[in-house]
Structure 1
Amino acid sequence: MDEYEHHLLEELRARRLSRRRFLMRASAAGLAVPAVSSILAACGPSDTSPQQGTPSGKPRRGGTANVAITKPASVVDPVTLYNQGGQTTAQIAGEYLCFPRADYTLDPRLAVSWKAKKPDEWTFVLRKGVKWHDGKDFTADDVVYTMNLLTDPKVNSSALSAFKGIFSHGNIEKVDDHTVTFHLDTPFVDFPYLVSSFNFNAIILPKGYQVGDFAKGRIGTGPFIMTQYQTETGATFERNPHYWDPRYPLLDGIKLTYYADDAAIALNMQGGKEQVWQVAPYQNSQALLKNPNLTVIKSKSSGYRGVHMRTDQAPFDNQHLREAVALCIDRPSLVKSLLGGFGSVGNDHSFAPVYPLAADALTGIPQRKQDYAAAKAALARGGKPRGFSVTLTTEQYLEIPQYAVLIKQACKKVGIDINLNVMPQSAYYGNGGNQPWLQVPMGIVDWGARGVPSQAILPAYTAHGIWNSAHWADPEFDKLFVRLNGTLDEQRRLSIAKQMAGIQHEQVPELIGYWISNLRITSSKIGGLAAGPSDHFDPRTLYMKG
């Protein structure tokens, strides 16, 4: 064991580190499975509950699965994709250096191991014997080319949002044909998550790839080869006979069908036309939950709906007025009414219950509850004892319009008059200089799951975050963020996380009322779909039940 492995072992032995948190840190640090197993064995029997398994049933090879997803917003390309339809399409054929399991630990894929010489220098050893779908060998040249492509400002890759301030163009080094080193702009102890599918665009592409080539098909190293692609209707995939893991895939092929909306997918799942819906929202899925011909797989998630309040302009430049809004919300009722219970209560900070760090970091921070008397007192402290008026602008998407109505109703009781402006999703997010969600005084954003807290915090809550819709800037919070990402010692990380969560909770730049659970739905004839994370599709383990 090296020094860091010894540190984790001692933390685990002293019970300052839970097994769940140990597994997360070991995964991020790239500890090999034998080392992890040895450390756990040295510390005695497990005190954690088992992970939820995949559906039971005798697997058999062969067959084609019908998979449904909403239509991508544009032609699918790993470099520029930004929504679920594009992600699912690309992940069937493409692969990442590592891939998240349901418990948010990382599974080696095109990389077999990784290690940090120091927190700003990460070396990845690549898998040998991997072939591209056209038969060429996969090498370090492909990884270097891909990362330089994704970080080139001229390319306009969606990955820039994840890499900004962490990893820049030209800072990846080829060590040999199967080893690369990332030289980071700043220490980041969770860097492997940024080259996993938690950074959707980080699919490794062949050297020389040009944006737009993916739609032509037969590009990737994954378990299935895309043989046909239609921008409006879907794509077909056949089994990759030369896949690097001889155990997979189990299916002969996949037929991916695009739908205009989730309601149409639900209807076709109910009727049996579709067999796999790997990212099913509670809204539109209620009728499927009791269907005996379907299997529902649930897991926790770090996805949430954030209600941001512009801290740089009235009325929300006053912290007390933001606090008043947060105190009006009945969080358990939100989970029940909007999610049917498939979620958990939020507390206005970024440390989701699914993160192992959160279980320890958040002790001592009181859970914010609906309290109208306290809300009125906060209004008085903010100089608005009779309330104020503001417009809440948001998107027409899933339960968000209903959420906006509930916020309006709850706040009205203390004199906060909220006018609603619900826009089409494409118009709300916009592009270029016209992005209403970044400009309105109050809005709601559907934040997808992130692998670690830092990955969620960087774009949304740091002073220079490109998606900081609250326009919030707290120098102390930003200093703590840098320390969190540059510190390996677990007790120091825990202390820093507590301070960060406390600052967010107190200042309320964004109301985080609930965290969303993953729901995945399959035909009872299909097995092998992992419990999650739902935005990440690993089709290689799918099988037809015998």
Structure 2
Amino acid sequence: MDDYEYHLFEEVRARRLSRRGFLRRASVLGLGLPAASAILSACGQGGGINSVPAVGPPRRGGTANVAITRPASLVDPVTLYNQGGQTTAQIAGEYLCFPRADYTLDPRLAVSWSAKRPDTWTFVLRQGVKWHDGKPFTADDVVYTMNLLTDPKVNSSALSAFKGIFSHGNIEKVDDHTVTFHLDQPFVDFPYLVSAFNFNAIILPKNYQIGDFAKGRVGTGAFVMTGYQPETGATFARNPDYWDKRYPYLDNLRLTYYADDSTIALNMQGGRENVWPIAPHQSAQALQETPNLKIIKSPSSEYRGFHMRTDQAPFDNPLVRQAVAACFDRPALVQALLGGDGELGNDHSFAPVFPVSKQAIAQIPQRKQDYALAKSLLARAGHPNGFPVTLTTEQYLEIPQYAVLAQQALKPAGINLQLNVQQQSAYYGTGNSQPWLEVPMGIVDWGARGVPSQAILPAYTSGGIWNAAHWKDPGFDRAFADLNASLDEQTRLKAAARMAAIQHDQVPAIIGYWIKNLRVTGVSIGGLAEGPANHFDPRTLWSAV
């Protein structure tokens, strides 16, 4: 084994790295499943490692009817930004790697990847892959895609994910099936940025033009898009030339767009639809007792960020932010907003689903509702009688209810919230008008990310483009750099622990709960992976009808 493999072996053998944590790091560094299994066995932690979700006794043939909310615009992998577009594109398109339910990475268009140092990553590409039009897939396609996604002149939604990490023109073609990424700074978790956790990173054919996807037959995936209607949905047929001959099981897939989640729930109950890959709690709760449906639950890193402007009074004083945090009854939030389908947050970005989290946050006490503490902190900050403030947020899922609960929770401490709940498009805005980045207090729906760094970079670093709290902490930034620059697991763990402690103490945002992923299928459909949230892999679906 090489030096890094031996390092992981030593970490696991000394019980400093859990089996789950090892599998995550091994997948990030492109360690193959045979090598990972061998290391675990050598450490006395053997056991099978599945590269695909278990599907039971699958049968071939049939059709699945998949429901999703209507995309906000014409579906294109380069520019899409919501769930409807994302699901549509992921049925036909593929990434270099794809996340499994446990957040490890499964090789797809790349068969392996490695880093001699954390700012230089080389990916070996899969041979024998064909585009849906029959042309061969090569390194030229990957180079073209990455340059397209990072071109400042192109309105790519991926620019925000790559900002500060990977820039236009910094991908090198080594040969027809090998590419090297030269990063702007070390980033140990870079493979997550070219996986589905950066959902725009679907690989496209060389010379692809914006809008081509909607014409059909664009992609390398297990299904070929045979029809597309922007308002109603899309149809897909089995790809007979798919590179993994095990898949797909289905012959056809029909994707239907709906204006709202409640209508999807009704059609799932009625049997018209049999796969709902991204089901919000508010609509899915009514399906819990429906006998012909299965609810699949899994942990995720999705959360709601309740941010405060740290560069403006009164939230420029960390005592005030700590006082706000002390007002929330977090178990009650999970029950009221998610019906119990969530996990407690503690005002830092290390979700329980991340392997590094358990050790990194071990010394941080769980924050609890404590009005005596909140009033004491406010008095020390010069606000013994509290203060009024406007909470601005969006009309989306449970967030309006969260705003009402926050208003009730803060009132006993003397903090009087005026609620301003806007339509989602108005709240996020565009260009120079993005209210969510300017308001003194707001709530943001943060989608799941594959690793803490991917979530932290845009939201909590000093130069983060989505730093709605306008928070800047040099110590936090230094620890973040340490986390991303080292392959040594103990160095990374120490950096993560510093970051979690600083974020918990300074409270640029309240992270009150982590949301469980819910998926719904009919009993006649098998093979749907438990997660991760917002990422749909239809290859393993099978029909019993």
Q: Which amino acid aligns with 2:120?
A: E
Look up the match of 2:314: 315
- In structure 1, C-alpha distance between the alignment counterparts of 2:94 and 2:460, rounded to whole Å: 30
Contact 1:376 1:385 in 2 (8 A): yes
The structural deviation recorded for 1:191 is 0.4
- In structure 2, C-alpha distance between the alignment counterparts of 1:182 and 1:511, rounded to whole Å: 35
1:535 aligns with 2:534: yes
The structural deviation recorded for 1:52 is 12
- In structure 2, C-alpha distance between the alignment counterparts of 1:247 and 1:50, rounded to whole Å: 14
Look up the match of 1:177: 176
Distance 1:339 1:13, change over 3 A: same
Look up the match of 1:43: 43
Look up the match of 1:107: 106
- In structure 2, C-alpha distance between the alignment counterparts of 1:48 and 1:435, rounded to whole Å: 48
- In structure 1, C-alpha distance between the alignment counterparts of 2:233 and 2:377, rounded to whole Å: 52
Distance 1:50 1:128, change over 3 A: closer
Contact 1:91 1:538 in 2 (8 A): yes
Q: Which moved more, 1:214-223 or 1:45-54?
A: 45-54
Q: Which amino acid aligns with 2:210?
A: V
- In structure 1, C-alpha distance between the alignment counterparts of 2:233 and 2:17, rounded to whole Å: 46
1:354 aligns with 2:353: yes
What is the SS of the residue equivalent to 2:167?
coil
The structural deviation recorded for 1:543 is 0.3
Look up the match of 2:146: 147
5+ long unaligned stretches in structure 1? none
1:521 aligns with 2:514: no
The structural deviation recorded for 1:534 is 2.4
Contact 2:37 2:46 in 1 (8 A): no
Q: Which amino acid aligns with 2:411?
A: K
- In structure 2, C-alpha distance between the alignment counterparts of 1:504 and 1:49, rounded to whole Å: 35
Q: Which amino acid aligns with 1:343?
A: G
Report how many residues are paired: 545
Contact 1:175 1:181 in 2 (8 A): yes
The structural deviation recorded for 1:34 is 1.4
What is the SS of the residue equivalent to 1:477?
helix
Distance 1:136 1:48, change over 3 A: closer
1:73 aligns with 2:69: no
What is the SS of the residue equivalent to 1:215?
helix
The structural deviation recorded for 1:128 is 0.2
Look up the match of 2:225: 226
What is the SS of the residue equivalent to 1:300?
strand
- In structure 2, C-alpha distance between the alignment counterparts of 1:427 and 1:505, rounded to whole Å: 30
Contact 1:283 1:339 in 2 (8 A): yes
Look up the match of 1:503: 502
The structural deviation recorded for 1:474 is 0.7
Q: Which amino acid aligns with 1:308?
A: H
Q: Which amino acid aligns with 1:507?
A: Q
Look up the match of 1:256: 255
Q: Which amino acid aligns with 1:294?
A: L
- In structure 1, C-alpha distance between the alignment counterparts of 2:29 and 2:366, rounded to whole Å: 32
- In structure 2, C-alpha distance between the alignment counterparts of 1:315 and 1:275, rounded to whole Å: 50
What is the CA deviation profile of residues 121-152 of structure 1, one whole-angstrom value per residue up to 9, with x for unaligned ones? 00000000000000000000000000000000
The structural deviation recorded for 1:342 is 0.6
What is the CA deviation profile of residues 142-178 of structure 1, one whole-angstrom value per residue up to 9, with x for unaligned ones? 0000000000000021001110000000000000000
The structural deviation recorded for 1:103 is 0.3
Q: Which amino acid aligns with 1:387?
A: G
Contact 2:482 2:491 in 1 (8 A): no
The structural deviation recorded for 1:290 is 1.2
Distance 1:51 1:267, change over 3 A: farther
- In structure 2, C-alpha distance between the alignment counterparts of 1:48 and 1:545, rounded to whole Å: 27
Contact 2:55 2:541 in 1 (8 A): no
Contact 1:172 1:183 in 2 (8 A): yes
Distance 1:238 1:49, change over 3 A: closer
Post-superposition, which runs of at least 4 consecutive aligned residues in structure 1 deviate over 4 A? 46-56
- In structure 1, C-alpha distance between the alignment counterparts of 2:275 and 2:390, rounded to whole Å: 39
- In structure 2, C-alpha distance between the alignment counterparts of 1:378 and 1:283, rounded to whole Å: 35
What is the SS of the residue equivalent to 1:356?
coil
What is the SS of the residue equivalent to 1:73?
coil
Q: Which amino acid aligns with 1:186?
A: Q
- In structure 2, C-alpha distance between the alignment counterparts of 1:381 and 1:479, rounded to whole Å: 30
Look up the match of 2:13: 13
Look up the match of 1:34: 34
- In structure 2, C-alpha distance between the alignment counterparts of 1:354 and 1:45, rounded to whole Å: 20
What is the SS of the residue equivalent to 2:114?
strand
Distance 1:517 1:305, change over 3 A: same
Look up the match of 1:241: 240
What is the CA deviation profile of residues 213-245 of structure 1, one whole-angstrom value per residue up to 9, with x for unaligned ones? 111111000000111111110111111110000
Contact 1:19 1:46 in 2 (8 A): no
Look up the match of 2:405: 406
- In structure 2, C-alpha distance between the alignment counterparts of 1:345 and 1:207, rounded to whole Å: 45
Look up the match of 1:440: 439
- In structure 1, C-alpha distance between the alignment counterparts of 2:37 and 2:321, rounded to whole Å: 47
What is the CA deviation profile of residues 411-464 of structure 1, one whole-angstrom value per residue up to 9, with x for unaligned ones? 001100000000011111111111111111110001000000000000000111
Distance 1:52 1:385, change over 3 A: farther
The structural deviation recorded for 1:46 is 5.2
Q: Matches of residues 331-350 of structure 1 in structure 2 within 5 Å?
A: 331-350=330-349
Distance 1:29 1:53, change over 3 A: closer
Q: Which amino acid aligns with 2:348?
A: H
- In structure 1, C-alpha distance between the alignment counterparts of 2:275 and 2:202, rounded to whole Å: 22
1:379 aligns with 2:394: no
1:488 aligns with 2:487: yes
What is the SS of the residue equivalent to 1:315?
coil
What is the SS of the residue equivalent to 1:499?
helix
Look up the match of 1:122: 121
Contact 1:355 1:453 in 2 (8 A): yes
Q: Which moved more, 1:446-455 or 1:424-433?
A: 424-433
What is the CA deviation profile of residues 6-52 of structure 1, one whole-angstrom value per residue up to 9, with x for unaligned ones? 00000100011111101110010111111101100001145999999
- In structure 2, C-alpha distance between the alignment counterparts of 1:533 and 1:246, rounded to whole Å: 24
> Please, what is the CA RMSD of the aligned residues?
1.5
Q: Which amino acid aligns with 2:72?
A: A
Taking every aligned residue pair, what percent have the same amino acid on both sides?
74
Contact 2:52 2:100 in 1 (8 A): no
Contact 2:148 2:154 in 1 (8 A): yes
Q: Which moved more, 1:47-56 or 1:243-252?
A: 47-56
What is the SS of the residue equivalent to 2:356?
helix
- In structure 2, C-alpha distance between the alignment counterparts of 1:534 and 1:195, rounded to whole Å: 17
- In structure 1, C-alpha distance between the alignment counterparts of 2:217 and 2:320, rounded to whole Å: 55
Look up the match of 2:201: 202
Q: Which moved more, 1:37-46 or 1:495-504?
A: 37-46
Look up the match of 2:454: 455
What is the SS of the residue equivalent to 2:417?
strand
Distance 1:213 1:50, change over 3 A: closer
What is the SS of the residue equivalent to 2:123?
strand
Contact 1:54 1:527 in 2 (8 A): no
- In structure 1, C-alpha distance between the alignment counterparts of 2:42 and 2:112, rounded to whole Å: 23
5+ long unaligned stretches in structure 2? none
Look up the match of 1:3: 3
Using the size of structure 1 for normalisation, the TM-score is: 0.98
The structural deviation recorded for 1:476 is 1.1
- In structure 2, C-alpha distance between the alignment counterparts of 1:543 and 1:251, rounded to whole Å: 6
Contact 1:54 1:531 in 2 (8 A): no
Distance 1:50 1:335, change over 3 A: farther
- In structure 1, C-alpha distance between the alignment counterparts of 2:460 and 2:511, rounded to whole Å: 13
- In structure 2, C-alpha distance between the alignment counterparts of 1:55 and 1:141, rounded to whole Å: 35
What is the CA deviation profile of residues 227-265 of structure 1, one whole-angstrom value per residue up to 9, with x for unaligned ones? 111111011111111000001010011110001111111
Q: Which amino acid aligns with 1:423?
A: Q
